[in-house]
Structure 1
Amino acid sequence: MAGGSDGAGSARDGERGARDAGGGERGTRDAGGGEGGDRGHSRRDFLKFGGVAAGGAVVGGAAGFAAARATGAGNGAGAGASARPGHSVAATPPGTIPPRPGGPGWDHLVVVMFENRSFDNLLGHLYAEDELPAGETFAGLQGDPIRIDGPHGRSYETHAYTGTTDEIMSSPRPDPGEDYPHVNTQLFGTVDPKRNAELQVSQMEKPYNAPPAGSRPTMRGFVHDYHNAFHMELGRVPTGDELEMALGGFTPDMLPVLSTLAKRFAVFDGWHCGVPGPTFCNRSFFHASTSHGYVTNHDNGGTEKWFRKSAASPTVFNRLDEAGISWAVYYDDSQHVSMTGLIHKPVLERFWHTNFFPMSDFYASVADGTLPAYAFVEPRMLYDHNDMHPPVGTVDVTEVDGVKVTGGTISDVRAGEALLHEIYSSVRSSASTTGSNAMNTMLLVVFDEHGGTFDHVPPPAATPPGDGSPGEMDFTFDRLGLRVPAIAISAYTAAGTIVHDPVHHGSLISTLTGKYGLEPLTKRDDGAPTIDGAVTLDAPRPVTDWPQTHPQYTPRNPEGSDPVPEGHDDRPLTPPGRNLMGLLKAHTGTDDALPKTWREAHAFVEAHGRGLFGPQ
């Protein structure tokens, strides 16, 4: 499968008509089938003092990189978006950072991509009917619950998660199916052939639960697929009450950081991921506008398939580099390796020591005003992960004085919230007068894919990136994946902004190539909607108007101590963690066994990952 062979032809107007293809922004209920630890001192002290660092000071590897490339804050002339009339705010108060010289827009774009959550799962309950900004609509779950039939004649409704705090924050558990055949069942309700319901993905047979040609997604198969995934993972049939997890989601008070930023800046209610499949494929679409024909992470050739010559498609990083525009990828200090760098090894390996940096360098660059034009942030995906991916394994339950107490507060959505709080707070406090700062930096929060969690909006048709030939599992890449949460934060973004543009994972590339006059990568990103709809103000909001965020708890600091907490040695890795270790094993060629637990992953990455990425 060549890099250009992702699928067969549908017209671009199908992609731009995402709202119509998806059943309409407000009509999707019918289309979808419904009735209606303590941190260490290093990072904390850095955030405390770094925000008032003198502009232009050079600290750390990333800052040195920015200075050496001599592009720094001077890259770009704006987002290219027109300010929306009637959205101006008061002039910037004296003593604060001056407005961006180029007017509305941004010079530095920071993207943090979390893992495996749908729009409805995290943001579906963001607004109640009576809370919407005046004149606005929102494609969420406000109003009557959506009802879906499940196995054994029982029906289920969309609802907010219930249970103990730790149970809620680690929901859904077990992890839903995210691979292409599972997504087919979720969207179309199909299991074809029927025996696929009791098979692992690698064992499934044609047509891999794909529907007949011309079928439209009903969004009514989530409960049935969760039943099948539950049975395959835990080896037993779920109870009716356990199946309720399939349609659960979070409320704003459960996610105070994410919901605050979504309401006080801009939320996209129509951002779809690139392919109805798993992590690697969607992360590849985000930066390469293709998954090289793949719809699985490691089936049909193992993780090493991502290193084939057919997977050597250029990325937007390559386009930026050719044009002399600065960029960087930041990975967790304790993880040592970058998933982005490994997925795109054929075209990015030569940059592993020049453009890839640990997160400590990110915070230094934010504080010093030396962010590159484009910065991509990866959460921690291994032990004690803060990527918001649903945990794998059992919840710890003990009894204290006859009362059941649920453990396992690490590695749930609160850890991701704490990371987002740190990133946002660092950008909010950045005050360089000569480089990147809060006035000229946009922070984009997005997720790679829905991870099997429920969403009610059918994915629209899409332009295949390649020549139209079928790829892995015969998918033709003529439809997008499901909606994912996406939030844009900038000084030129009005509070309460809801962007309805039909954006998708090709939009990041389209935005960057359009801004800097670069060639598109594939037909998918060529002309795709940009993120410029989040630039809504003529005058910037002063930082004093930006909210302060308050995560529910501060997770432990694995960089400052043993990254595997005592008693958690045997916790299993999530799929992103396992597959990241698979990429590392394939790259090194080691005969060491592929790690399955947190402790094994720590030992493996210390032995084989140190020194692969970052300044030498």
Structure 2
Amino acid sequence: MNDADLARSLFSRMETRGISRRALLQGAGALWLGLTLGGYSEVGAALRPRREPGSLPYPHLPEGTDTLPEIEHVVVLMMENHSYDSYFGVLERGDGFRMRDGRPKAANPDGNGNLVHAFHMPNACQLNGHPSQDWNASHLSFDGGRNDGFVLASGPVAMGYWTGEDLPFYYGLARTFPLADRWFCSTLCQTYPNRRFFMAGTAAGIVSTSNAALTAPPPPNGNIMERLDAHEISWRNYFSDLPSVFILFDYALAHQGNVSPIAQFFTDAAAGTLPFFSIVDPNFGTQSEENPQDIQVGEAFAASVINAVMTSPAWPRTLLVWLYDEHGGYFDHVPPPRAIKPDDIPPDIQVPPDLPGGYDRYGFRVPAVIVSPYARPDYVSHEVRDHTSILKFIETKWNLPALTFRDANADDLLDCLDFRRPPAFLEPPTLPLPGLATNPSNCTPGNAGTIPPPGAVTPERDDDDEDRRVDEPREDPSNPMD
């Protein structure tokens, strides 16, 4: 990018983010540009942070200053274990599969001289095959950026995907509100590490979803709830069977008063009394969409949460982020780019048997949609981001100190919002009913379906390179200024 293009890009971002108002708040536009645009720069083979842990988004303003008064409530609905392509690979917007004759071209080798091509799942049941997203399976799937190890790691089920006929509410959501097609999970491994990143900006060494991970040392710089506590800003974790905050076990034990059953969420939403920050958790055994659950049950739960927010008296001042914690072992065609290490805490692995790696790379892409009256209509965001972008948004709104290098230099979601015009979705849109209500899969052990379906596996040939090739992203995902 030359200087002229860079300048146009910067001014475009300034206009998108409503900098005229912020410049008045800041009193120093040049300083703002240097501190907050882009998040990081690339020098050779390394990513250089522009901000450090403990730094403020707006250094000349008092900590705790509300810089985005339009948003009074942030709701995060983080579901489980699906890659972007497994849900939105065939969506007509965003960066999904490359197609040939109406079918995805993506394929992975099975190690036996065959290619397993991406295929439409027989139903929503996830009863035939269990993909893995553990540390080794994720790094094997990544395979140095070739993204050709999914079948080797998890079997043919990894190449399955769903469509809008299976998930009509989700497709309606992604067609209506800003879709983030460069939202990567925070690290190449499982639920607990990625949810730690979401709340604390770091996994602080853990790599697995295990009981030992629950009692691992807490993140040294604390978590976003502690930042809010320091300024008496309200938060609550609404849960069904396991609160996300209990991944930060000691902190959660000391703050059980901030944890409420899921029924309280619907009561608070209806009354317009949600706290500033709400974490909403499904039942992780039946509604989270983790394999082998019926994903339509999870979609129905998510629809109930999102509709409760959109019909709440607080809707005009609310931002909701719907996303997934990690890819669940399912294929995605975009290689995760390098990321800024959150801190100097290495992953707790032993090489061998563990594959080498660190927290200096994102995990695979996950579905993510930003829901708000201020959301930009008909918009697909290509900004590279991960779960710490939620932290960055909260820190930006309240001018709070960053927790780690990762959230300090993360994207802040503001490209998905437009505060310069009247809210486009002040009147909530009518979204499709979820698949459970319109096209249920009626999941039973006898209705598992055949995986892979006939025709999905073919012998490898020399001319299959085009199918095996990893798609190049439309921008360089390591360069936020492209």
Normalised by the size of structure 2, how large is the TM-score? 0.73
The equivalences for 1:442-591 within 5 A come to: 442-467=319-344, 469=346, 471-473=348-350, 475-536=357-418, 538-544=421-427, 546-553=429-436
Pairing 1:372–2:284 present = no
Q: Give the conservation status (yes or no) of the 8 Å contact 1:292–1:313.
A: no
Q: Secondary structure at the match of 2:192?
A: helix
Pairing 1:158–2:114 present = no
Q: Give the conservation status (yes or no) of the 8 Å contact 1:119–1:450.
A: yes
Number of residues paired by the alignment? Answer: 376
Identify which of 233, 236, 249 aligns with 2:161. Answer: 249
Q: Paired residue for 1:593?
A: none
Alignment CA distance shift 1:542-1:271 (3 Å): closer
Q: Give the conservation status (yes or no) of the 8 Å contact 2:107–2:159.
A: no
Per-residue CA deviation, residues 62-105 of structure 1 (Å, 9 max, x unaligned), is xxxxxxxxxxxxx98464xxxxxxxxxxxxxxxxxxxxxx5xx5
Q: Give the conservation status (yes or no) of the 8 Å contact 2:65–2:399.
A: no
Q: Paired residue for 1:59?
A: none
Identify which of 219, 222, 234 aligns with 2:147. Answer: 219
Identify which of 62, 73, 76 aligns with 1:108. Answer: 73
Q: Paired residue for 2:20?
A: none
CA positional deviation for 1:475: 3.6
CA positional deviation for 1:494: 3.1
Structure 1: distance between partners of 2:222 and 2:37: 25
2:334 partner letter: V
Structure 2: distance between partners of 1:481 and 1:315: 21
Identify which of 72, 84, 103 aligns with 1:119. Answer: 84
Per-residue CA deviation, residues 273-315 of structure 1 (Å, 9 max, x unaligned), is 11100111111111011112111122xxxx1343244556511
Identify which of 292, 317, 320 aligns with 1:440. Answer: 317
CA positional deviation for 1:139: 1.3
1:321 partner letter: D
Alignment CA distance shift 1:17-1:272 (3 Å): farther
Structure 1: distance between partners of 2:251 and 2:431: 39
The equivalences for 1:77-476 within 5 A come to: 77=66, 79=68, 102=69, 105-127=70-92, 132=93, 138-144=94-100, 145-161=105-121, 163=122, 168-171=123-126, 173-188=128-143, 216-227=144-155, 243=156, 245-298=157-210, 303-309=211-217, 313-332=221-240, 335=241, 337-338=242-243, 340-352=244-256, 354-382=257-285, 385-391=286-292, 411-431=293-313, 437-467=314-344, 469=346, 471-473=348-350, 475-476=357-358
Per-residue CA deviation, residues 205-243 of structure 1 (Å, 9 max, x unaligned), is xxxxxxxxxxx310011122123xxxxxxxxxxxxxxx2
- Which moved further from structure 2: 524-533 or 267-276? 524-533
1:109 partner letter: V
Normalised by the size of structure 1, how large is the TM-score? 0.57
Q: Secondary structure at the match of 1:501?
A: coil
Alignment CA distance shift 1:346-1:142 (3 Å): same
Per-residue CA deviation, residues 160-190 of structure 1 (Å, 9 max, x unaligned), is 22x3xxxx102373221111101111110xx
CA positional deviation for 1:251: 1.0
1:442 partner letter: L
Alignment CA distance shift 1:271-1:512 (3 Å): same
Structure 2: distance between partners of 1:453 and 1:280: 18
- Which moved further from structure 2: 257-266 or 171-180? 171-180
Q: Give the conservation status (yes or no) of the 8 Å contact 2:200–2:219.
A: no
Alignment CA distance shift 1:172-1:458 (3 Å): farther
Q: Paired residue for 1:558?
A: none
Alignment CA distance shift 1:14-1:179 (3 Å): farther
CA positional deviation for 1:149: 2.6
Alignment CA distance shift 1:516-1:293 (3 Å): same
Q: Secondary structure at the match of 1:330?
A: strand
Q: Secondary structure at the match of 1:420?
A: helix
Structure 1: distance between partners of 2:255 and 2:184: 29
2:307 partner letter: S
RMSD: 2.7
Q: Give the conservation status (yes or no) of the 8 Å contact 1:78–1:106.
A: no
CA positional deviation for 1:427: 1.4
> Could you list the runs of 5+ residues in structure 2 that have no partner in the other structure?
1-35, 46-63, 351-355, 439-443, 446-482
CA positional deviation for 1:468: 6.1
Q: Give the conservation status (yes or no) of the 8 Å contact 1:331–1:378.
A: yes
Quick one: percent identity of the two aligned structures? 27
Q: Paired residue for 1:194?
A: none
CA positional deviation for 1:359: 1.1
Alignment CA distance shift 1:425-1:277 (3 Å): same
Q: Which has the larger radius of gyration?
A: 1
Structure 2: distance between partners of 1:500 and 1:539: 24
Q: Give the conservation status (yes or no) of the 8 Å contact 1:257–1:420.
A: no
CA positional deviation for 1:492: 1.2
Structure 2: distance between partners of 1:482 and 1:221: 13
Structure 2: distance between partners of 1:14 and 1:539: 26
Q: Give the conservation status (yes or no) of the 8 Å contact 1:273–1:505.
A: yes
Q: Paired residue for 2:11?
A: none
Alignment CA distance shift 1:470-1:357 (3 Å): closer
Per-residue CA deviation, residues 103-155 of structure 1 (Å, 9 max, x unaligned), is xx52211110100000111111111xxxx5xxxxx211143312333232111
Q: Give the conservation status (yes or no) of the 8 Å contact 2:218–2:248.
A: no
1:143 partner letter: M
CA positional deviation for 1:508: 1.0
> Could you list the runs of 5+ residues in structure 1 that have no partner in the other structure?
1-11, 22-74, 80-101, 133-137, 189-215, 228-242, 392-410, 432-436, 556-566, 569-616
Q: Give the conservation status (yes or no) of the 8 Å contact 1:329–1:375.
A: yes
